[in-house]
Amino acid sequence: MPVSTLILSSSLALQLVSGAAPAAPAQSSAPAKSAAPAKKAYAPPLAVAEKLVGPALTEGHSYARLAELTDGIGPRLSGSEGAAAAVQWALKSFKADGVKAWTEPVKVPRWVRGEERAEILPSELTRGHPLFILALGGSPPTAPEGLTAEVVEVTSLEALATLGDSVKGKIVFFNHTMSSPADYGRFAGLRGRGPALAAKAGAVGSLVRSLATASLRTPHTGSTRFDDEGPRIPAASVTTEEADQLHRLLAKGPVRVKMVLGCSELPDADSHNVVAEVRGREKPQEIVLISAHLDSWDVGTGAHDDGAGVVMVMEAARLIAKLPQAPRRTVRVVLYMNEENGLRGGRAYAEAHAAELSKHVAAMEMDSGGGRPVAVSLRSGPGGKELLEPWLSPLVALGAAQFSTREAGGADISPLLPARVPFFGVEVDASRYFDVHHTHADTLDKVDPQDLARSTAATAWVTYAMAESPDTLARPEAPTGSPGGGAPVATPPKASSGR
């Protein structure tokens, strides 16, 4: 869709702005930190809301962009040709949108999936079955002929610890009971750390039940992390169907599995974050950071994870750049590289911009898929809700005019925590997110154009609120226990139980 569709003539645009009843321009030069005026009931510039929400809902621009990214480029694992193509696509798209953009260097891991297959071997219990697997990102390969071993089932890292020598030489199979998005955080550690701990206990391989809320024999990949000095064993996810089958067979007797993984870890590769911004009209040095991650897993086309987030924040910037008057502060878009298997982009940004993090007045990352908006989230010092409350009214019809009970956050912005950057976010309905998360099935058809448009509209408006509000969010305390900016490899995506 051409970006010119909704370019208004400047005279018409001015007319619309000046015609708005509680017009913003009269207030827009008020000092941001002046205590007295801010205590009055602040009336946000609602005329701007229609310029953001209107086109987001009617133009279909974010969905068209998502089709370009997923159909045109496809998967984009860090270091791959797809990831490099996505960087170029983002630069070109920002340029077409009239938003200044550039790249910033990130050195990324380069893990490459290879041949992968596994099977339950024939025994007295069964004639044997193929297993549908996906190697976990970070897994080493098996020997070319594969590995064959008996399977031991465990359902927690604690249970693994009690098994002692009995897992030596075995394939440890991590089973669990994930049934809703809220369970992701409970069980993600089995994938993230289970194989490393199984290796330390002497296991020779590991299978992890997919972190899934639906399955049609659908394996879910994801990262697993081994310690630099510790042993590493081949690790793959199995489908929920096969986890159930392994469980049934193991209840009757021993089960042996053969697995062959051909994945490899190549030398780190040069890659990039893509950064773009709309300069603020009054306090350009104050930055409202909105972000998503440009990389995806190498399966599917990363439509929900995180193509949806990418097009939401790009569209927010495009629409804000088209406003007749820029917001008070600078809106900066960061499309991070390497959220999925390293978080190098998030860390690189925090390092490269360390000197200006005190001027980052708010940051958000959209990374829970392209569902409809359900709430606004915050992580700030006192008074955050009071500051944002007057800005909620344009979100009523979008279904998001309430505050979430969850804190705002995001894996790539977690390195900003030590600098006490306030976080905000638009929480989306993620009730079906884990049906497709990290699978071959994360494709464009799973994203509802209407839901995406609504979340894009909410993202644009809340971003504008952060950039235009006379006051800024109070900075939160730095989290304890996270010295030096260390961030989790994979923060569980927020998951609304709605719908």
Binding residues for a copy of itself, rule: CB under 8 A, are 67, 71-74, 81-82, 85, 125-129, 132, 214-218, 240-241, 244-245, 248-249, 300-301, 435-436, 439-441, 443-445
Rounded Cα–Cα distance for residues 315 and 459 (Å): 9
Strand order across the 171-174 sheet: 129-131, 116-120, 256-261, 147-154, 171-174, 205-209, 235-238, 133-135
Least gap, CB of 222 to a copy of itself (angstroms): 16
- CA 121 remoteness from chain centre: 38
Rounded Cα–Cα distance for residues 492 and 499 (Å): 20
Which residue of the set 59, 116, 277, 339 is catalytic? 339
Residue type, 361: V
CA distance readout (Å), 434 to 133, 184, 300, 494? 17, 8, 14, 11
Least gap, CB of 445 to a copy of itself (angstroms): 5
Token look-up 């994870």 returns: 305
- Structure-block tokens of residue 359: 């001027």
Residue closer to a copy of itself (CB basis): 263 or 466: 263
Residue closer to a copy of itself (CB basis): 100 or 129: 129
Least gap, CB of 489 to a copy of itself (angstroms): 26
Residue closer to a copy of itself (CB basis): 217 or 385: 217
Least gap, CB of 60 to a copy of itself (angstroms): 13
Least gap, CB of 127 to a copy of itself (angstroms): 6
Residue closer to a copy of itself (CB basis): 27 or 245: 245
Rounded Cα–Cα distance for residues 148 and 195 (Å): 16
Q: Name the pairing type of β-strands 256-261 and 147-154.
A: antiparallel
CA distance readout (Å), 132 to 62, 216, 440, 498? 34, 11, 12, 31
Residue closer to a copy of itself (CB basis): 440 or 475: 440
Rounded Cα–Cα distance for residues 10 and 16 (Å): 10
Active site includes 150? no
SS3 label, residue 340: coil
Least gap, CB of 246 to a copy of itself (angstroms): 10
Residue closer to a copy of itself (CB basis): 85 or 163: 85
Strands (E), 243-398: 256-261, 264-278, 283-293, 329-336, 360-365, 373-379
Catalytic residue set: 339
